[in-house]
Amino acid sequence: METKFSEVKNYVNGSFTANGQDKMDVLSPLTGEVISTMPLSTEKDLDDAVKAAEAAYPAWSGMPIKERVQVFFKYKTLLEENIEELATLIHEENGKTIGEAKAEVEKSIELTEFACSMPQLIGGEVMEVSKGVECRIEHKPLGVVASIAPFNFPNMVPHWTLPNALVLGNTMVLKPSEQVPISANRIAELLKEAGLPDGVFNIVNGDKAIVEAICKNPGIKAVSFVGSTKVAQIVYKAATGTLKRCVALGGAKNHLLVLPDAHLDMTASNVVASMSGCAGQRCMAAAQMIGIGPVDHIVEKMCEEARKIIPGENLGSVISKQAKERIERYITDAENAGAKVLVDGRGCTVEGKEGGFYVGPTIIDHVTPDMAISKEEVFGPVVSIIRTKDLDEAIDLENSSPYGNAAAVFTQSGGLARQVMDRASAGMIGVNIGVPVPREPFSFGGWNDSKFGVCDITGKSSIEFWTQLKKTTTKWNPDAKTNWMS
Ligand code: NAD
């Protein structure tokens, strides 16, 4: 069958590999049509990729970091030159709008730019620790590492890991989401064009079977994972069970605490943009607003803002038919349990794209903490509103969530904002900002069930994850006094 995009392939040792194995269809969520096919790789395919990465490792890790980084200077320029095409691929396979897709690539560019500054950040340390004796500390790479990605950012999430891990001297196997595998093939082409040696970056496509194989492959030294909490736990246990280093980012249920003194326009537009951007399929999206005291004026303005959002124009699709059904089920269950649907995105279709998986913006008021919609991750353009009488009750509610990716507060009071900054149980806090994603060089990572493992996945924190410390003690002067410390 002729498809819009050519067949997705694995990428091993600098070449796209012929696919003899089983295939899976890749659907466009914009139309529901098959736009490509993707290989369901086998353990043997993974072994081949790991062997290629192992073979490339000595030369790549042996190169001075100032030379490795040159590839990424060129690569950053290539991302900039190809931004339109890369954004189109994201739009087609993920369903987000072209504007959102471009913003995603811009973030990949920023992540690459950060990796280019790595030589300035990991200078190492040296000190004369006793007469004639010097200690030196250096960050050394780990070897072959793996990166496992989710569907919601086909271009950006791979860039959370690949530029930093590679600049620091590791070689990598990437496992893209089987729902959005197209972007990664283009990333591989651009890395090659930038001069990345063959074998340093490899792609193995597939589903959970490949993830399981990655976790137990003895050649892989570290695994980074981004996806749902359920799978993050499985991966963290499996990877550390075979004594690998692992950081596994999970799902989220982000709470936005809104006080009555919050700036009306800024708050309403921020909360609505946060819940509806990328059709709510962001781990940093506003999922639950906690309205503290009299906030009807803000809720009213939010509804006005939400009605300006038109599916197919400034709102993309969700990823699949199953996702659409799941999101609509949460809304209906909440309504049946007594919540009030103020703006209803159910049953939405887009003219000319009737097969697409669209859900309109949805605002549900008077949700209670016992409802599934207030506890579980919905991952759609939906915000539920819980009302509380005071800030303490709101913070208790936020703290009771098992997740802990982000939390935000909207107020004009510095003192109240400070209380939320101190007491919210989340890794990333926003003050009058609905999507508090730290930009480089600040690192990204949640708390609680939103992240398993020690380091954050980006920024300076990731240096500790992708490297190990080598400590060398040196003595050149035979006249220096010898004692047990020298
Ligand atoms: P997912 O967990 O279903 O899939 C993620 C990856 O795991 C995919 O590559 C998939 O092939 C693989 N996988 C799926 N089931 C598996 C299993 N049983 N065993 C082993 N591997 C398996 O996640 P998704 O639906 O692709 O992405 C959405 C989720 O990712 C949401 O929960 C979202 O909050 C989360 N997410 C979190 C962050 C963060 O920074 N915390 C960022 C982006 C997305």
Specify the pLDDT at position 19: 64
How far, in Å, is the centroid of ligand 1 from the Cα of 474?
A: 47
Q: Is 220 exposed, middle or buried (0-12, 13-18, 19+ CB in 10 A)?
A: buried
Sheet holding 428-431, edge to edge: 340-343, 362-365, 382-388, 286-292, 254-258, 406-410, 428-431
Select from 248, 170, 234 the least CA-distant residue to 202.
170
What CA–CA distance (Å, rounded) separates 420 from 259?
11
Residue 237 near ligand 1, beta carbon < 6 Å = no
**pLDDT score, position 334:** 98
Q: How far is the CA of 444 from the centre of ligand 1 (A)?
A: 17
Distance (Å, rounded) from C-alpha 112 to C-alpha 162? 9
> 477: CA distance to ligand 1 center in Å?
56
CA torsion 153→156→161→167, rounded to 10°?
160
Pocket test for ligand 1, best of 153, 216, 228 (most atoms within 8 A of CB): 228
Q: Is 207 in the pocket of ligand 1 (CB under 6 A)?
A: yes
Q: Is 377 in the pocket of ligand 1 (CB under 6 A)?
A: yes
pLDDT along the chain (486 residues), means of 10: 92 88 94 96 96 98 98 98 98 98 98 97 90 93 98 98 98 98 98 98 97 98 98 98 98 98 98 98 98 98 98 97 98 98 97 96 98 98 98 98 98 98 98 96 97 97 97 87 68
**Would you please indicate which residues are annotated as catalytic (active-site) residues?**
283
Position in ligand 1 atom list of the atom nearest CA 151:
26
Ligand 1 near 150 CB (within 6 A): yes
Q: Is 249 in the pocket of ligand 1 (CB under 6 A)?
A: yes
Q: Whose CA is nearest to atom 12 of ligand 1?
A: 208
CATH number of 255-431: 3.40.309.10
**What is the residue with the minimal CA distance to atom 40 of ligand 1?**
249
The domain at 10-251+446-471 falls in which architecture?
3-Layer(aba) Sandwich (3.40)
Query: What is the number of the ligand 1 atom nearest to the C-alpha of 377?
Result: 32
Cβ atoms of 93 and 34 closer than 8 Å: no
Q: Please tell me the distance from the alpha carbon of residue 242 to that of residue 25, in angstroms, as a whole number.
A: 32
Instruction: Give pLDDT, residue 20.
Output: 65
CB-neighbour burial class of residue 230 (10 A; exposed 0-12, middle 13-18, buried 19+): exposed
Q: How many CB atoms lie within 10 A of CB 485?
A: 8
Residue boundaries of the structural domains of the chain: 10-251+446-471, 255-431
Residue 455 in contact with ligand 1 by CB distance below 6 A: no
Cis amide linkage into residue 441, ω under 30° from 0: yes
Size of the chain in residues: 486
Tell whether ligand 1 has an atom less than 6 A from the beta carbon of residue 104.
Answer: no
Distance 133 CA to ligand 1 centre (A): 50
